[in-house]
Amino acid sequence: MVQFTFIQPDGTRNTVYATPGMSVMETAQHNGIGGIIAECGGSMACATCHAYFDADTIAKIGASEGNEHEMLDFAATPRSEHSRLSCQVEVSEVLEGAEITIPDSQV
């Protein structure tokens, strides 16, 4: 299991244990983490699972690219260099200790 923390817009922190191979979006949904709407169910057809990953984690997993990068143009909140669609980030050991901030709004 991999442990990382979701941070809500109000600063509330929820640490979860995640199964490698799942996506960060699936992990949020399985743990009842609010703010990750994922209207498309992870098919990268919306940007309602937008999240900001801490700088150390982005350095490990890389920035968004290709279709994911383009889809972030449709996110309800401004993208940053730390933005990723959580449906496109697979849980692995590199996420151990990550901090993932959920935007104020997804729609």
pLDDT band at residue 13, thresholds of 50, 70 and 90?
Answer: very high
What average pLDDT does this structure show over 24-41? 97
Contacts of 28 (CB under 8 A, 6+ apart): 6, 16, 35, 36, 38, 49, 86
Apex CA 107: angle with CA 87 and CA 29, to 5°? 40
Q: What is the band of 22 on the pLDDT scale with cuts at 50, 70, 90?
A: very high
pLDDT, one tens digit per residue, over 34-87 is 999 999 999 999 999 999 999 999 999 999 999 999 999 999 999 999 999 999
Angle ∠(81,75,36) on CA atoms, nearest 5: 95
- The matching CATH number, chosen from 3.10.20.30, 1.10.1060.10, 3.40.50.170, 3.40.50.850, for 2-101 is 3.10.20.30
The phi, psi pair for 28, rounded to 5°, reads -60, -45
Token pair in block for residue 50: 């937008």
**83-85 vs 2-7, strand pairing mode:** unpaired
Strands of the 83-85 sheet, one edge to the other: 13-18, 2-7, 99-101, 50-53, 83-85
